[in-house]
Amino acid sequence: MKLTMLTNINKNFFKMSKNIIFVFAFLISTFSFSQVDDGTIVSRYMELYKYNTYTDKFEKSSEDWVNTMIDFQKDYYRIIIEDGEVSKVYWEFSERDEDGQDIYYTETEQKFIINYDEQEIRFYSDYNEYEEIYTQIIILSKISKYNPDE
C-alpha cells in the first residue's frame, strides 16, 4: 500500500516527534485481544507534552500539523508519519477504563491510549519510577477514517 502525505511542519518538531513515535514501534509487544476495529485512520495534528516536576503538570512543548497514518490489525498496527518509513508495531490490550478508553501497553510498560469520545490517540513514554509517572505524552488528533480517494 502506497502512503503519501503532504509535509508542512517545523523540521525540528517533525524530527523529534518522528523519533519518539518510531521508538514505540520497536517497544510494543504482541497483544491478546483487539478492542480497536481493523482499519486505517489518519491523524492530521500532533501535540507533544512534557512533565514539569516543579509545577507537577504537563506542559505543551510543541504542536503542529503532522499527517500520521495508522493501520490497525488484530495483532499489530502499522504507522507512518508524513512520508517516512512504515513501522510495524505489536501491542497488548490491557483494559477498557471507566471512561471507555482502550489502554494498551508495550513490553516495557509504555502506554498507548485510544480515547474514542475525544477522538485522540495518546502515546505515553519516558516513565519516571521516582515520580511514578510518564513524563512525555504525544497526542494525535484530528482523526478520520482513511479514504484512498482523498
Whether 125 is covered by a domain: the verdict is yes
User: Does 96 or 39 have the greater pLDDT score?
Assistant: 96
- Judged against a pLDDT cut of 70, whether residue 39 lies above it is answered with yes
pTM for the complete prediction? 0.71
Count of structural domains, the chain = 1
The better pLDDT of the pair 138, 91 is held by: 138
In a domain, 22, yes or no: yes
The angle at the Cα of 51, spanning 48 to 53, to the nearest 5 degrees, equals 160
Q: Where are the beta strands (DSSP E) in the chain?
A: 39-52, 57-72, 76-81, 87-90, 92-96, 102-105, 111-115, 120-128, 133-145
Residue 48 lies in a domain: yes
> Is residue 150 a part of any domain in this protein?
no
**Is 74 domain-assigned?**
yes
Q: Which domain holds residue 107?
A: 11-145
How far apart, in whole angstroms, are the C-alpha atoms of residue 110 and residue 127? 7
Residue-level pLDDT at 115: 92
What sign for the dihedral angle of Cα 3, 4, 7, 12?
A: positive
Residue 61 lies in a domain: yes
CATH number for the domain spanning 51: value is: 2.30.29
Residue 35 binned pLDDT confidence (cut-offs 50, 70, 90): low
